[in-house]
Amino acid sequence: MKTPFVNSRRAALAVLGLTAVGWGLARAQSAALSELRIGFQKGSFNLALLKSLSLLDQHLAGTPVRWVEFPAGPQLLEALAVGSVDFGGVGDSPPVFAQAAGKDLFYVGAEPPKPDSSAILVKPDAPLKALADLKGKRVAVQKGSSAHFLLVQAVARGGLPWTEVQPVYLPPADARAAFEKGAVDAWSIWDPYYAAAEIAGGTRVLATSRGLTNNNTFYLASRSLAGDEAALRKIFAALTETDAWAQAHKAQAAQRFADFAGLPLDTVNRVLERRPASPVAPLSAELVAEQQKVADAFAQLGLIPKPILVADAVWLPGQAVARSR
Side chain identity at 112, as an amino acid letter? P
Specify the number of domains making up the chain.
Answer: 2
Angstrom distances, CA of residue 124 to CA of 116, 121, 133, 198, 281: 20, 9, 14, 11, 40
- Running DSSP on this structure, what letter comes out for residue 165? S
Distance, CA of 144 to CA of 97 (rounded, Å): 6
Residues 92 and 15 in one domain: yes
Residues 94 and 239 in one domain: yes
The model's pLDDT over 135-149, given as tens digits with 9 standing for 90+, comes to 999 999 999 999 999
Mean pLDDT estimate for the chain: 88
Full residue range of the structural domain in which residue 85 is found: 6-113+216-313
Q: What pTM does this model have?
A: 0.86
pLDDT at 29: 37
Residues 108 and 229 in one domain: yes
pLDDT (mean) for 217-225 = 95
**C-alpha count within 13 angstroms, C-beta hemisphere, residue 31:** 5
Domain boundary among 208, 234, 254: 208
The model's pLDDT over 259-294, given as tens digits with 9 standing for 90+, comes to 988 899 999 999 999 999 999 999 999 999 999 999
Contact 19, 232 (CB under 8 A): no
pLDDT at 27: 33
Distance, CA of 296 to CA of 310 (rounded, Å): 10
Distance, CA of 181 to CA of 245 (rounded, Å): 40
pLDDT at 318: 81
pLDDT at 219: 97
pLDDT (mean) for 30-39 = 77
Domain boundary among 158, 189, 208: 208
Residues 17 and 104 in one domain: yes
* Helices and strands in the chain, H and E counts: 14, 10
Query: Confidence class of residue 100 from pLDDT cuts 50, 70 and 90?
Result: very high
Q: Over 60: is that where the pLDDT of 25 sits? A: no
Residues 192 and 139 in one domain: yes
- Look at residues 264, 305, 271, 312 and name the one whose alpha carbon lies nearest to residue 288: 312
The model's pLDDT over 63-97, given as tens digits with 9 standing for 90+, comes to 899 999 998 899 999 999 999 999 999 999 999 99
Query: Confidence class of residue 3 from pLDDT cuts 50, 70 and 90?
Result: very low
